[in-house]
A and B are shown apart, each in its own frame.
Chain A
Amino acid sequence: MRRVTFQLIARALLRKYNIRNIRSIHLAQALSRGHLKVIEQGTILCKEGTDSNEMYVIVQGRVQLLKKNSNGKPTELMMIEGPSLIGQMGLIDGSRRSASCVAAEKTTIIRFSESCFHSLMKEQTINGAAFRHQVMFTMINQLNNTNQKIGALIEEV
């Protein structure tokens, strides 16, 4: 049952990011190293300004990204829908959380501890490679989206 669940999550992620070189079974095995759980609406996954020690795969549901404005009031940066990866940046460059992440509804997530993330990052296995490629594709997608927003704003400003 658990294996089937992770394989479905892996397939959904590979489909979303149009990743063709990874087999879902390998990504599923990497994902199964995390902790699958359901969180209620309003649950805070991480707080802006705190140390980064976990990353998450949003399986199903939505997570709101909030950042404090100049008056200290939390403002929505964006809404992230599953399947998606969040929180990996802080584990990669050791920076503090740049925004808070709050479940906008009942959400299923996979939580990866810092040690589990770094172990997959350097693991000499096909499952480790599948995880690294998933992280890379997610980040390339993120960078392209931001660059598109920048391109549109340059024309406006």
Chain B
Amino acid sequence: MLNVTNQLSSLPLFAEATYADLHSFVRSCMPKRFRKGELLISQGDNAEYAMFLVEGKLDVLLTSEKNQLHRLGQVHAGELFGEQGLFVTKGRRSAQVIANSDGMVLLLNRAFMHRETQNTAVIALERMMIAVLARRIRTANLNLQILQKKQQESEIVPSISKYTSLFQHLQSWIGKAS
């Protein structure tokens, strides 16, 4: 446990956390070692906890309705993932997470985060979560704008082709009449 506390205390994220709070945080979490290729989160599972990656690298993948696997991104040491599990009751995992290397995660449960409101390590995690959410909202807004533009374009193209065929029809009708 002390090793993990020492590892975490060197992260910039926990720069303002006291060693005692960090140690209490580590003791309350469940450390889990994993091997390369191990499945840590399955898409569609109940989301009941978040994970904090202490060491290693993870791939975030999404299985589409056509059963195709898309890589959404990677999680690096010092990052939190699956955080919606801490706040959304009866939420489901929206993607799967597979280990890209050997490593270790801490499993954070809802009760601890909600109980330890004055723990400086928990405050650091909450602030990180808020920053991560802000980034995700910005990205989602950008994607939404791109899709809305595409939708507008796809609405314009059929109406142009409709008027083109009407014009051709009129031209041939005028030709026949003259």
Taking Cβ atoms with an 8 Å cutoff, the residues of A that contact B are 18, 20-21, 89, 92-93, 95, 98, 121-122, 124-126, 128-130, 132-133, 135-137, 139-140, 142-143, 146-147, 149-150, 153-154, 156-157
Contact = CB atoms under 8 A, between A and B. Distances in A.
Nearest to B135: A93
Contact of A153 (B127, B133, B135, B144): B144
Interface residues of B, number: 31
Interface string B69-82: 00000000000000
Contacts of B89: 18, 20
Interface in B105-133: 110, 114, 117-118, 120, 123, 126-127, 129-131, 133
B144 A136 contact: no
Interface in B128-172: 129-131, 133-138, 140-141, 143-144, 147-148, 150-151, 154
B110 to A, nearest CB: 8
Contact of B147 (A92, A132, A136, A153): A153
B127 A136 contact: no
Contacts of A136: 87, 126, 129-130, 133
Contact of B144 (A95, A128, A149): A149
A21 B114 contact: yes
Interface of B: 16, 84, 87-89, 110, 114, 117-118, 120, 123, 126-127, 129-131, 133-138, 140-141, 143-144, 147-148, 150-151, 154
Contact of A124 (B123, B134, B154): B123
Given A139-B133, A150-B140, 9 more contacts: A89-B137, A89-B138, A92-B134, A93-B138, A124-B118, A130-B117, A132-B130, A143-B140, A157-B147
Contact of A157 (B110, B138, B151): B151
A153 B151 contact: yes
Contacts of B120: 124
